Amino acid sequence: MSAAPKRNPDNASVILREALRGRRRGNRSSDVNLDDSHADVRFEGSDDELTELADLLLESHAPASVSPESPPGTTAVQEATAVQSETGLPKLVEKFLGQRSIALARKLGYGLLVMGIIDFIFIFIPPQFLNPVWEYQVIGDVVKLVPLPILAFLLIFVGERNNRSPIERRLLKALAWLTLLISVFFFLLLPLIVTDYVRIDRFNNAQISEETNLQKRKLNATQDQLSKMDPEQIQDLIPARDQMGSLGTIPNSPAEAKKSIVDNIERAKAQADERAATARQNVTLNLRKNSTKLFMQALLSAVLYLLLWRSTDWARRTQSRRKSRGGWIKRDAR
C-alpha cells in the first residue's frame, strides 16, 4: 500500500482557498481536511476572507452531536460560538493591556467611585430641601460630578468577567443596576430644573421690585416733606454765592428751587424703574442660559448612564455551567 502524499503548507493554502470559494458559491458541504502536518500553515488574505475561513473551519470540525444537557435546537456550532462570544473580546483586551494593568485599572476605578460617592454625599450637607436656590446649586454640583463616576465605572467594567472572584461578580451586577438608577435620577432632575428656574425667576423679580419700591418710597417721602415746607425754609436750602459772586445753576427764588427739587425726584423715580427693568432682563437672561445648560447636561448624563447600563448586560446575567461533549461550556442566563 502506498503512503499518502505528505501535504505541504502551499497545498494547504490551496485547499483553504478552494473551500472558501465553494462556500461563497453556496456549497455548504465543502469541508476543510487538514492533518497535523499543516499546523504551521499561514493563510494570507483580507479580513473578510479570514472571517469566512474561520466560520468554515468551525463548521467543518465541530462535533456532529450535542450533549444530552443541551437545550433542543442547540448545535455544536452554537455552543462553540457561545464560548467564543464569552471569552473572545475580553481575552483580547486582557492580552493587549496585560493582567496587571487591568487589575490596576479596576482598583483605580473602585477608588474613584468611592471618591465620587463621598463628594455626592457632602453636596447635600446641610440639606435645605424646598429651597429653590439650594436645589438649583445642588443640581449644578451633581452634574459637575458626572465625569468622575463615569470614568470609575469604565475602569471597573474593563475586562468584563475575566479574573473576577464570585463576590466581585455579584458586586458588578449591583453596580450595573446602579448605573440604571443613576440614569433615572438624572431624568427625574429635568422637571426639577424647570420648576426651580421658574421659582428662582419669580424670586429675583420680586427682590428687584422690592428694592425699586424702597427707593421710590424714600423719594416720595422727600417730596412730601418738601411740599410741607414754607418759602423761608426752602430759601435756607438755596446755597450762598461763591467767592466769585457767581451762582451758576443755583435757583434764584424758593419757588424755582422747589420746582428743581421736584423735577430731580421725578427723574430719580424714572431712573429707578429703568434700572429695575434692565436688572430683570439681565438676571432672567443669565438664569435662562444657566438653566438651559444645566438641563442639557443633566439630560446628557442620563443618556450616558443609560447607555452604560445597556452595555453592561453581561454583568447583569447569572452565569451557569453545563457539560457538553467537548467539555464544560459557560452559558449565560437572565
Given pLDDT bands bounded at 50, 70 and 90, which one contains residue 123? very high
* pLDDT single digits (tens) 247-287: 556 666 777 777 888 888 889 999 999 999 999 999 999 99
* Higher-confidence position of 50 and 155: 155
Rounded to whole angstroms, the Cα distance separating 302 from 306 reads: 6
Is residue 309 a contact partner of residue 181, using CB atoms and an 8 Å limit? no
Given pLDDT bands bounded at 50, 70 and 90, which one contains residue 56? low
pTM attached to this predicted model: 0.62
